[in-house]
């Protein structure tokens, strides 16, 4: 099948299928990151993920006839700073924590967004802050506490905090992606410059630490990370452009379920009732935050968050 034929086939798929596919690909990417972490540092994985992503997006942009030249380089710079930092912390957490735990902590971004809204309302002197948003944030952090409890017991607190910080920085990156969308930047351009930022930051951090030697299995994992992440981003973008906000947000959390299954089957990750309860609370809080943040009574299409 040609590239154009594959694009036409994807365009024909309903948004829920696209979203479910993107969630599966992101979880599969997590597996590849975890396997690659045995041979490479997080900085190296970010570098090669960005290199592969930039090359693929350049091909997609050329195929679509889109220019990658931007009139707002400063906005892309700040989006890359927060997004790449989030990606680095997330990959580090994936390498050290159970896969579903790292995935859930990164998906806290919706709850962080709700917290930012509350903080903004307080700073602007709003007469009243929606108590449902406050409840959503509290429920989300109760879920995090339950998830991190076994992590703390296994002396992995710093890894858990890295995953939590990745979610917070992802929320900041999403705010910047929204601003770029309002400035008229297409998704391909946003993802391209994020990938370029990943290459630069990964190289700057990996060089002092030393680059690890390559071997066939490691190269395959690095290539898979870049391809899976980029294709998943494109699927998610189309799903959010065509589908409904709450439906897409709900299906996005399938990534946690996929990661949980992968973790148990491939990495023998432990299954604890406390961690499962925490994941349920985080998913519920995240969906509530999406609904309250959008202020939806009827569901409407929305722009997509990117990977980070």
Whether 6 is in a domain gets the answer no
**Dihedrals φ, ψ of 305, to 5°?**
-75, 150
- Domain around 217: 19-294
Domain tally, the chain: 1
Distances (CA, A) of 272 to 72, 96, 115, 285: 47, 18, 28, 20
Interatomic CA distance for residues 103 and 290, integer angstroms: 18
Interatomic CA distance for residues 51 and 32, integer angstroms: 16
pTM of the model: 0.85
Interatomic CA distance for residues 154 and 183, integer angstroms: 46
Residue 126 is inside which H or E element, if any? Answer: none
User: From the centroid of its chain, how far is CA 171?
Assistant: 10
Q: What is the pLDDT of residue 297?
A: 38
Per-residue pLDDT of the chain (308 residues; tens, 9 = 90+): 455 555 556 557 788 888 899 999 999 999 999 999 999 999 999 999 999 999 999 998 998 898 999 999 999 999 999 999 999 999 999 998 999 989 999 988 888 877 887 787 777 766 577 788 788 888 888 888 888 776 656 667 888 899 999 999 988 888 888 888 888 888 889 889 999 999 999 999 999 989 999 989 999 999 999 999 999 888 887 787 777 766 777 788 889 999 999 999 999 988 788 888 988 999 888 888 878 766 643 444 444 555 66
Whether 201 is in a domain gets the answer yes
CB 246 within 8 A of CB 287: yes
Q: What is the pLDDT of residue 127?
A: 57
Whether 299 is in a domain gets the answer no
Whether 12 is in a domain gets the answer no
Whether 11 is in a domain gets the answer no
Whether 140 is in a domain gets the answer yes
Q: What is the pLDDT of residue 114?
A: 79
Q: What is the DSSP letter of 38?
A: T
Whether 1 is in a domain gets the answer no
Q: What is the pLDDT of residue 154?
A: 63
Interatomic CA distance for residues 55 and 80, integer angstroms: 17
Whether 263 is in a domain gets the answer yes
């Amino acid at each position: 099948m040609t590239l154009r034929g594959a694009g036409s086939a994807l365009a024909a798929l309903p948004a829920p299928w696209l979203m479910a596919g993107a969630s599966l690909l992101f979880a599969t990417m997590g597996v590849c990151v975890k396997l690659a972490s045995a041979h490479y540092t997080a900085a190296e994985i970010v570098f090669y993920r960005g290199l592969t992503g930039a090359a693929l997006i350049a091909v997609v942009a050329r195929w679509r006839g889109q220019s990658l030249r931007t009139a707002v380089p400063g906005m892309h710079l700040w989006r890359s700073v927060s997004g790449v930092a989030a990606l680095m912390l997330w990959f580090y957490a994936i390498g050290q924590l159970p896969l579903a735990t790292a995935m859930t902590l990164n998906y806290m971004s919706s709850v962080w967004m709700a917290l930012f809204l509350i903080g903004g309302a307080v700073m602007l002197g709003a007469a009243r802050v929606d108590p449902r948003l406050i409840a959503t944030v509290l429920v989300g952090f109760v879920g995090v506490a339950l998830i991190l409890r076994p992590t703390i017991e296994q002396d992995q607190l710093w890894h858990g905090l890295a995953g939590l910080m990745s979610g917070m920085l992802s929320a900041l990156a999403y705010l910047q992606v929204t601003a770029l969308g309002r400035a008229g930047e297409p998704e391909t351009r946003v993802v391209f410059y994020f990938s370029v930022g990943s290459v630069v930051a990964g190289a700057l951090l990996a060089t002092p630490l030393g680059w690890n030697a390559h071997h066939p299995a490691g190269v395959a994992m690095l290539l898979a990370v870049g391809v899976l992440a980029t294709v998943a981003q494109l699927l998610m973008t189309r799903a959010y452009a065509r589908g409904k906000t709450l439906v897409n947000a709900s299906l996005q959390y399938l990534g946690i379920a996929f990661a949980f299954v992968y973790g148990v089957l491939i990495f023998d990750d432990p299954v604890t009732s406390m961690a499962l309860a925490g994941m349920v609370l985080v998913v519920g809080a995240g969906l509530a935050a999406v609904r309250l943040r959008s202020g939806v009574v009827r569901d409407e299409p929305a722009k997509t968050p990117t990977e980070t």
